[in-house]
A = this chain, B = another copy of it.
C-alpha cells in the first residue's frame, strides 16, 4: 500500500502523476491519493472578492490560512469540488476506478477544531476565534479499506469534520501522514514543486537524499516555509508505522517512478 500526496502548489504534472498511479495499480499495488489545493483556493478566493489571508502562529511560527466560514466554503468548492473531481476524472481516463471523497464524508477524517489560535500580527499576539481549521485526530480506515477492497482508489480532499460536525480545513501533508498511518501504508510519497529537502534552499545541489529518523530535528532546521509541515507530517507518519516517506518532484515526466527509484528526499 502506497499513499501519494499531490501538492496544491502550482507546477505539479497531474497527467504524469495519474499515469504513474495507473501503472502502479495495474501491477497490483493499492494506492490512496491525498491532495491539497492551496494555490487554486487563493486564486478563486481573490476572483470572488474574498482575498486570502495568512496568519502566523505565536508558537512554532507556522503560517496557515485564516479560514473564516466564507473561506471554508471556498476551500471546499475548490478542493473537494474542482481539484478532486478533475483528479478522479483524470485517473478514470487512465483506467483507474477512482473515488473522490473528503474527510467530511462518512466522517473519514475527524479533527479537533482549534477553538482559538494565538497569532502574531504586527508584532503583537492576539487571539483568533472564528477559524475553521483543525488537527486530525482519527481516520476512518475501515471506510478506506472497504473502498479499496471493492476495487476503488480513494482520492481524499483535505477537509475534516470536527467533533461538533463542522467542516474544517486541514493541512493536506499532515492529512496524508494520518491516512498513511491509518491504512498501514508502507510508503508515503509527497509530491511537490521542488526536488526535495535542501540543505540550503533553493540551491538544488544541496538536496538531501536521505534522512534517518534520529536526524529529523536537524532536517526541520533546513526546512523553509511549507516544507516545515511536510517534515512534521513525515515525522508523524514514521511514528504511525509508515516505513518511509519520500519528498519528490511532482513536475517531472515520471514523478512516482522517480520517487520509488530513490530520487528526492527519503525519510526512514
Residues of A that sit less than 8 Å from B by CB: 44, 47-49, 73, 76-82, 84-86, 88-89, 92-93, 97-102, 104-107, 143, 146-147, 150, 152, 159, 161, 164-167
Contacts and interface: CB of A to CB of B under 8 A. Distances in A.
- How many identical chains are in the complex? 2
Contact of A100 (B101, B150, B152): B101
A167 B89 contact: yes
A152 B81 CA distance: 20
15 contacts: A44-B48, A47-B47, A81-B82, A85-B102, A85-B104, A85-B159, A88-B105, A89-B165, A97-B106, A99-B101, A99-B105, A100-B104, A100-B105, A106-B147, A143-B150
Contacts of A143: 150, 152
B86 A73 contact: yes
A81 B89 contact: no
B165 A92 contact: yes
